Structure 1
Amino acid sequence: MNYKRLLFCLFTGFTVATSPAFAFQELQPSDDYIQVSKEIVEILEGTHYNKPSINDQISELAFEDYLDALDPTKSFFLQNDINALSVYKKRFDDAIKSGDTQVAYTIYNLYLKRVEERLTDLENNLSAMLEGFDYTLDESLDLDSEHYTWAKNKQEQDETWRKRLKNRALTLKLNGETPEAISEVLTSRFKNQLKRIHQTDAVDVYQIFVNSITAALDPHSSYFAPRASETFNINMSLSLEGIGAVLQMEDDYTKVVRLIPGGPASAKGELSPNDKIVGVAQEGKEMINVVGMRLDDVVDMIRGERGTTVTLEIIPSKGTGQTSKRIKIVREKVKLEDQSAKKEIVEVTRGDDTYKVGVIELPTFYSDFAAQQAGDKNYKSSTKDTKKLIEELRKEGIVALILDLRNNGGGSLQEANSLTGLFIPSGPTVQIQDQNGRITPLGDRDPKIAYSGPLAVLTNRMSASASEIVAGALQDYGRALILGGQTFGKGTVQALQEVDKGQLKITQAKFYRVSGETTQHKGVVPDIIFPSVFDTEKVGESSLDRPLPWDKIHETRYPIYWDMPSLFPILEPRHQARMAKDPDFIALNDQIAEFRENEDKYKTLSLNENTRIQINEETEKRELDRENARRAALGLEAIESVDDIEPTDKLVYSKEAAEILLDFIAINQLAEREKAQQEQAN
């Protein structure tokens, strides 16, 4: 036994002599990363936006984050373990500053021991436990992570695991699996989890440790060890052949953060942000449970050659959480052209007249920089493509234009700046403040505009970063009505810095609107809000741990083209009146209201089979009845299964945005007539 391990055992009271032999091998820090640690501290303290001092306060936060990263559901450590480990709360800062990161490995090795104890015990007793489950008992499992606590003793932890195992078995049973198959699936799960735990190496532990430090500063700074750095670079280049989804770990689950526009998952339409992936199957092979699996291993399983099919078993975020479902997605490479701007026309009839309103959907802010640098005048960019589509729509006789930035997670800052310039003469579009307080304004210098008519921008909670810059600028200028949902609130700028081993992604600046308000945390609040399935408390920057705050700097000089707020008292009541009569909005509002009303119920999962079946049947019946009521109001044929329900909010929002723009036009025309009459009278 090494000296530091012996000191740890003596200091915390853990015994060594009586400990049983385990299969896992204790991990130790590598001397190769001593200098890396010192380099990381220098970069964090010198270039992070907050200019932090890596001190005891940061150490205590990092300690909590480290435990949470290892055991997010509080499933393995006992309260006694946590009490003993608490002596290390103020050691994390010293560890990374000195490069002696033994403390991280000491904690991790105890975690390994607890995992092996638990999973081995479950594997050995699985058959007896499965045979003993009584699905007629009225008991439940608490799924609310805010209620998770460290078990006081093994008996209390045993009971928690019993309920979790019973839930997993019941879910498989309700999905039609036989008792033999249930036993095989769960046994395989524990074996795979143990196997992957044993595959964890010293570099993996080091990465978790460093990221506990960066997480104490803000949610977007992070360290990528060499393997993770390679994966990050692949994702950033969009050369990944897979399903086109950004994933992250939450508790023991792989969660969908967002879908890449133009990717296979986005096109399929069955996967949504916040869905949890619990299983992955390759073509012709059995489903592999991925609960508790390392994120990079899950990503590797989902990746694959284009044209091949991967099957995902998911727990939908919009459901009750009572059952899972399986979806098949054909892998493809996400191409630039798949993310290109697209146009359509929404026709609105008022009286005897029909009006055309153009819609340009922009999935991301893109530019083919390589082609541009090579001197190709026909290189693709979001600004060039949008300008071309505007010209085409104007020839088709549109009276107004909608820029749809829903689910647009950002992209090129240069493109956000130039695209804003399509709708305003030259002027500032965004301000950037660095860690030294220096403010750099960016703006459009081209006085030409592509479109000067009535304009609306559609946003939702997944509109982020560059989307928020465009929406915020057009709102401040009074150039467009912002409609839809509050945006994500990511107003920080990250830069990648190479370190001796890997990369450090570090927050170095902050975006501010021309009005002086930052887009950070708060995002852009729409002028008129549409119903949204996104819960702003669970999705968005404000839902993350330790986001940088909202604040304000001096505004820049800019003109205001329309006094939009003066129109809201007229536009808002008309919008509400239409929604109250529109079958699509009635169904959508009812669905959202039902989910919000039952949200607390969904945090508790019944372990009674009949209750689960009843809840599922009642939920599906309500969904089917709601959809058929909507279809009946629209004169459409009824459907027989919830599987036949297709998303409608995309078109519904565009139609309502078009209606609001026509109201806007009518109000302005009336004001102009009244002004002309008054001038004639004078």
Structure 2
Amino acid sequence: MRLLKFLSPFVVLLAVSASAVPTKAPLTYTTEQSATAMELLYRLQDGHFNKQRMNDQLSRDFLDKYLESLDPAKMFFYDKDVKGFSQYENEFDNFFNKGDLSVPYQIYAIYQQRVRDRLSNVIAILEDDTVNFSFDGNDSVEIDRKDAPWIKTMGEADDLWHKRIKLGVLNLKMAGKTVDEARETLAKRYTNQLNRIKQEKSEDVFEIMLNALTVLFDPHTNYWSPRTNENFNINMSKSLEGIGAVLQVEDEFTKVVRLVTGGPAARQGQLKAADRIVGVGQGDDGEVIDVVGWRLDEVVQLIRGPKNTVVKLEVLPAGALSGGETSVIKINRDKVKLEDQAAQKAILELPDDDGRIYKLGVIQLPDFYIDFDAVMRRDPNYKSSTKDVARLIQELEKEKIDGLILDLRNNGGGSLTEATSLTDLFIDRGVVVQIKSSDGRVGRQNQAFSRPYYDGPLIVMINRLSASASEIFAGAIQDYGRGLVVGSRSFGKGTVQSVKELKLGNLKMTESKFYRVSGDSTQHRGVVPDISYPTLIDDTEVGESSYSSALPWDQIRAVPHPVYNDYSKLVPELEKKHAKRIKTDPDFVYLLDRIKFVERNADQKTISLNERKREERKLALETESMVLENERRKAKGIELYKSLEEFRKQGEEEQEEQEQAGPPKIDVDGDTLLIETGNIMVDFLAKPSASKTDAKELAKRY
């Protein structure tokens, strides 16, 4: 084996996996790419917040991540291939330090050949009329293969792929296609994938390889090739104006991170966070193109399009297993207008136990926005979230509200300056957030004014999709004891990235972390509410903690700060009343039942290839959904659904109404969580020691 040290990586790799030698000249790297790889590694080790060194352990992690990036479902590489690669598992640190990318490129060459061979075989099977598929047996297919062993034999691979093909045909058949139509559709999809893999260039391999390295430092550190940097706007919510969604690549899928409030997808209502887009089509009748394994910028190009045109998304729902049943969603493209994302207000009126009516102001803030162009022009009328919220508070106080609810659910963040200035409306001058850089220095974002704009009772609502700036604001309100925070645990993104130009492309790198005035990081853990609500959002699928390489939660020194109110004795009493109330609230009972329903069905690891069983399961799931809805309706005195057909039709009609209704308004009548938040506020205000006047005085105390 010592002799191998003197052989080039190219020769050694081919020696251990001779059967996988590509039939055409493999892609190779350029001198510029070699220099860029060395520069990227230097910048990561020198400037990333996580002072991680490229050593043998990181080298082994890189190999695992690179193979996962190429073949996440373990459908192409053989066990013998991986064993051949493993002889270099401790060498990639040395390769990157020298700019020697031969081994990663040869691994890709073997992957490319495996994909070509397999997809050519799959297409031939689909186009062979003598190959029949039956759907009346007892066989099933394993879907979640992330932890599965690598395929050992060609026979094992053939069996796995035969089941995959059969699953694809069955899914399309159940969606209304004939078997022949399903075969034709699948053949086209696999042909597209085959053509794409044949057209891959050195630049594509280079980007995949470097991102397998950067993601080891943290999930928000990425390499952008020159093409990616040119075609893909960093601000994804603006670059995806066509549907108003923020996307990312996870494994081989394009995953929905969040929807932009007021955008076409949010208004349409069917697309959800953590859904995976597996196909994209144009117009009502256009063919849906399979996009599994595509680059994110390529998927973006298909989704984008002129205003008032239709894009069709084939979606694998959040929690569903890869290869499971999909649905097609039609969305009318439109621009996400600033006014649709602007803060809005409403009045929520609720009684206490004695029948006294309390008037509560509600402000919904979907984004921390600011018109930077207008600010640069010194336009005094520039639009910002803080200015809009201040104006809405003024309008609400004219209506003599008893308390204020600030709704930050689904608010993915935005301007840090706005998070700071918005906090300024509720507390005295002081520190809002601490920022620790990679060199250990801690900076602080302070308030500008000395007196709060609003000093009345306050509750802040958050959920799993409240991120970044939302977490800074909610954390500050909680630490200062300025108000209660209710909802579900926030996203947990407490890191700051900057973009560095490289010889080729750019490096987006995490350089800092956010910390609250208490010293707690907002990273990973997020903001934990004072009173928690159940949620349908799976935090193993959505949120910082869902990333395997997310930076950990930690603490730094707290900043001396006043605590206006100590809610520690009040919260248990409010929680007790909350728990009692939701036990008999039909909407809360329904929400809890839906969560149990989703959790039960998320445990499925295999999918049956028996059509009758699949149809029976589909019918059972629909029936259970209708039963849960009817139980809610019965408790509320609403007419029950008499049949599944009626249930389905009503769902379609509600979907159309929602899409045509325009930007969503605050639903003070039907938003279960908002109404319960109002009830918690009433519980607080109705206390003998916390009448309206006393509560405002309590909030002023320093």
Q: Same fold (TM over 0.5)?
A: yes
Change over 3 Å in CA distance of 1:129–1:102 after alignment to 2: farther
Q: Does 1:62 align with 2:62?
A: yes
Q: Distance in 1 between matches of 2:227 and 2:479?
A: 43
Report the counterpart of residue 540 of structure 2 in structure 1: 537
Report the counterpart of residue 393 of structure 1 in structure 2: 396
Q: Secondary structure at the match of 2:558?
A: coil
The answer to which of 260-269 and 459-468 deviates more is: 260-269
- Residue 650 of structure 1: CA displacement? 7.4
Report the counterpart of residue 151 of structure 2 in structure 1: 151
Q: Does 1:666 align with 2:686?
A: yes
Residue 275 of structure 1 aligns with an amino acid whose one-letter code is D
Report the counterpart of residue 233 of structure 1 in structure 2: 233
Change over 3 Å in CA distance of 1:393–1:525 after alignment to 2: same
Change over 3 Å in CA distance of 1:127–1:236 after alignment to 2: closer
Alpha carbons 2:312, 2:330 under 8 Å: kept: yes
Alpha carbons 1:456, 1:480 under 8 Å: kept: yes
The match for 2:11 among 7, 11, 15 is: 7
- Residue 573 of structure 1: CA displacement? 1.2
Q: Secondary structure at the match of 2:624?
A: helix
Q: Distance in 2 between matches of 1:352 and 1:150?
A: 66
Report the counterpart of residue 308 of structure 2 in structure 1: 307
Aligned counterparts, 1:293-442, within 5 A: 293-317=294-318, 322-350=324-352, 351-442=354-445
Residue 14 of structure 1 aligns with an amino acid whose one-letter code is A
Change over 3 Å in CA distance of 1:213–1:251 after alignment to 2: closer
Residue 287 of structure 2 aligns with an amino acid whose one-letter code is E
Unaligned runs of 5+ in 1: 676-682
Report the counterpart of residue 658 of structure 2 in structure 1: none
Aligned counterparts, 1:64-83, within 5 A: 64-83=64-83
Change over 3 Å in CA distance of 1:286–1:148 after alignment to 2: same
Q: Percent identity?
A: 45
Q: How many equivalent pairs are there?
A: 668
Q: Distance in 2 between matches of 1:460 and 1:394?
A: 27
Alpha carbons 1:239, 1:334 under 8 Å: kept: no
Alpha carbons 2:281, 2:288 under 8 Å: kept: yes
Q: Distance in 2 between matches of 1:295 and 1:369?
A: 28
Report the counterpart of residue 515 of structure 2 in structure 1: 512
The match for 1:523 among 521, 526, 547 is: 526
Q: Secondary structure at the match of 2:682?
A: helix
Residue 295 of structure 1 aligns with an amino acid whose one-letter code is L
Alpha carbons 1:356, 1:400 under 8 Å: kept: yes
Residue 228 of structure 1 aligns with an amino acid whose one-letter code is T
Q: Secondary structure at the match of 1:171?
A: helix
Aligned counterparts, 1:638-657, within 5 A: 638-639=640-641, 640-642=646-648, 644-645=650-651, 651-657=671-677
Report the counterpart of residue 289 of structure 1 in structure 2: 290
Residue 634 of structure 1 aligns with an amino acid whose one-letter code is K
Q: Distance in 2 between matches of 1:633 and 1:13?
A: 66
- Residue 146 of structure 1: CA displacement? 4.1
Report the counterpart of residue 106 of structure 2 in structure 1: 106
Q: Secondary structure at the match of 2:687?
A: helix
Q: Distance in 2 between matches of 1:25 and 1:644?
A: 58
Q: Secondary structure at the match of 1:517?
A: coil
Q: Secondary structure at the match of 1:147?
A: coil
- Residue 226 of structure 1: CA displacement? 1.0
Change over 3 Å in CA distance of 1:494–1:558 after alignment to 2: same
Change over 3 Å in CA distance of 1:610–1:130 after alignment to 2: farther
Describe the superposition over 1:184-226 as per-residue Cα deviations: whole angstroms up to 9, x where unpaired.
Answer: 1110011000111122110111111111111111111111011
Residue 288 of structure 2 aligns with an amino acid whose one-letter code is M
- Residue 126 of structure 1: CA displacement? 2.0
Change over 3 Å in CA distance of 1:252–1:34 after alignment to 2: closer
The answer to which of 467-476 and 229-238 deviates more is: 229-238
Residue 619 of structure 1 aligns with an amino acid whose one-letter code is L
TM-score w.r.t. the length of structure 1 is 0.93
Q: Distance in 1 between matches of 2:449 and 2:78?
A: 63
- Residue 628 of structure 1: CA displacement? 2.4
Report the counterpart of residue 464 of structure 1 in structure 2: 467
Change over 3 Å in CA distance of 1:275–1:25 after alignment to 2: farther
Report the counterpart of residue 258 of structure 1 in structure 2: 258
- Residue 531 of structure 1: CA displacement? 1.0
The answer to which of 134-143 and 651-660 deviates more is: 134-143
Residue 443 of structure 2 aligns with an amino acid whose one-letter code is T
**In angstroms, what is the RMSD of aligned CA positions?**
2.3
Unaligned runs of 5+ in 2: 1-6, 656-666, 696-702
Change over 3 Å in CA distance of 1:181–1:506 after alignment to 2: same
Q: Secondary structure at the match of 2:671?
A: helix
Q: Distance in 1 between matches of 2:311 and 2:522?
A: 37
Alpha carbons 1:238, 1:335 under 8 Å: kept: no
Describe the superposition over 1:82-138 as per-residue Cα deviations: whole angstroms up to 9, x where unpaired.
Answer: 000112222322232222212221110000010011001111122459943221112
Q: Distance in 2 between matches of 1:165 and 1:394?
A: 63
- Residue 429 of structure 1: CA displacement? 0.8
TM-score w.r.t. the length of structure 2 is 0.91
Residue 63 of structure 2 aligns with an amino acid whose one-letter code is F
- Residue 441 of structure 1: CA displacement? 1.6
Change over 3 Å in CA distance of 1:603–1:450 after alignment to 2: farther
Q: Does 1:455 align with 2:458?
A: yes
Q: Secondary structure at the match of 1:51?
A: coil
Change over 3 Å in CA distance of 1:201–1:484 after alignment to 2: same
Q: Distance in 2 between matches of 1:355 and 1:231?
A: 52
The match for 1:568 among 568, 571, 589 is: 571
- Residue 12 of structure 1: CA displacement? 1.6
Report the counterpart of residue 243 of structure 1 in structure 2: 243
Q: Secondary structure at the match of 1:161?
A: helix
Residue 419 of structure 2 aligns with an amino acid whose one-letter code is A
The answer to which of 341-350 and 80-89 deviates more is: 341-350
Change over 3 Å in CA distance of 1:674–1:48 after alignment to 2: closer
Q: Distance in 1 between matches of 2:368 and 2:636?
A: 36
Report the counterpart of residue 608 of structure 2 in structure 1: 606
Alpha carbons 2:226, 2:506 under 8 Å: kept: yes
Q: Does 1:629 align with 2:635?
A: no
Q: Does 1:205 align with 2:205?
A: yes
Change over 3 Å in CA distance of 1:527–1:243 after alignment to 2: same
- Residue 672 of structure 1: CA displacement? 10
The match for 1:587 among 564, 586, 590 is: 590
- Residue 376 of structure 1: CA displacement? 0.4
Q: Secondary structure at the match of 1:333?
A: coil
Report the counterpart of residue 618 of structure 2 in structure 1: 616
Change over 3 Å in CA distance of 1:674–1:72 after alignment to 2: closer
Aligned counterparts, 1:154-169, within 5 A: 154-169=154-169
Alpha carbons 1:36, 1:501 under 8 Å: kept: yes
